[in-house]
Amino acid sequence: MAAQGESPQADKALERLCRTYWWPIYSFIRHQGIGQEEAKDLTQSFFAMLFERRDLEAVRREKGRLRSFFFASLKNFLAKERRHAAAAKRGEGRAPIPLDVLLARKRMDLEPANTLSADRIFERRWALAVLEQVLARLENEYCAAGNAELFEQLKKLLTGEGQRSSRAQIGSQLGMTENAVNQAFYRLRERYRELLHEEIAHTVIAPDDTEDELRHLIAVLRP
């Protein structure tokens, strides 16, 4: 909703959406058999189209989910691009989102070769983008409270990276008892759940859709 209209605030909100969900967009385009450079151009053009045409204006009139809206818009965009390969450059007059910075992330250069369909790739990348956004918000909260080191250790437990490190070892590193680590991890996990619900709620129109969307994202991440 914040990305609707024409104002600096709306531009900022729309850019945040683009920065958050560029990965599933780019991944879907790549899995259409499109090369990296062309996929980067198409991703940039898709986002520029959202800025220029203000397609999000229609969202208020429909019950739906941002994931579904982006997916349908992307498929429609690519279909038009195929019909008009020589379309004029979009987004003039606006500073482009620096995709080169985003694409510099290590994972972007490691697109796995697998048997998943492009649709499935989009769904999984979207789910991971949501989780990444939640983790970033959680990290910001901990850093603001002066608990950056605690967050880094507890994050390993949350993401499964810390299975080889016991909670007693983490406590030893941080000068905490094992029980204190357990309590701190419980609080982090509960806050993570709260932020996850908040983040998903931002991508749906009807509040009742939040739980359904959460279950869907969990399902698409299962092997």
- Residue 93 has a pLDDT of 47
Q: Check residues 111 and 152 and name the one with the higher pLDDT.
A: 152
DSSP state letter for 63: -
- Residue 12 has a pLDDT of 78
Quick one: residue 204, left, alpha or beta (phi over 0 = left, psi -120 to 50 = alpha)? beta
Q: Report pLDDT digits (tens) over 133-166.
A: 899 999 999 999 999 999 999 988 887 765 556 7
Q: How many angstroms separate the CA atoms of 216 and 219, rounded?
A: 5
Q: How many angstroms separate the CA atoms of 105 and 143, rounded?
A: 22
- Residue 63 has a pLDDT of 57
C-beta separation of 74 from 25 below 8 A? yes
- Residue 19 has a pLDDT of 81
Section 76-95 average pLDDT: 62
Q: Residue 81 pLDDT > 90, yes or no?
A: no
- Residue 91 has a pLDDT of 45
Q: How many angstroms separate the CA atoms of 74 and 88, rounded?
A: 18
- Residue 85 has a pLDDT of 57
Mean pLDDT of the chain: 78
Q: Check residues 1 and 67 and name the one with the higher pLDDT.
A: 67
Alpha helices in 34-84 (DSSP H): 36-53, 66-83
- Residue 108 has a pLDDT of 44
pLDDT band of 106, cuts 50, 70, 90? very low
Q: Enter the tokens of residue 97.
A: 């989102």
- Residue 45 has a pLDDT of 85
Residues 6 or more apart whose CB falls under 8 angstroms from that of 99 comprise 22, 26, 40, 43, 44
Q: Check residues 104 and 51 and name the one with the higher pLDDT.
A: 51
Q: Residue 118: helix, strand or coil by DSSP? A: helix
Q: b or e along 166-193 (b: 16 or more beta carbons within 10 Å of the residue's beta carbon)? A: ebeebbeebebeeeebeebbeebeeebe
What sign for the dihedral angle of Cα 221, 66, 130, 117?
positive
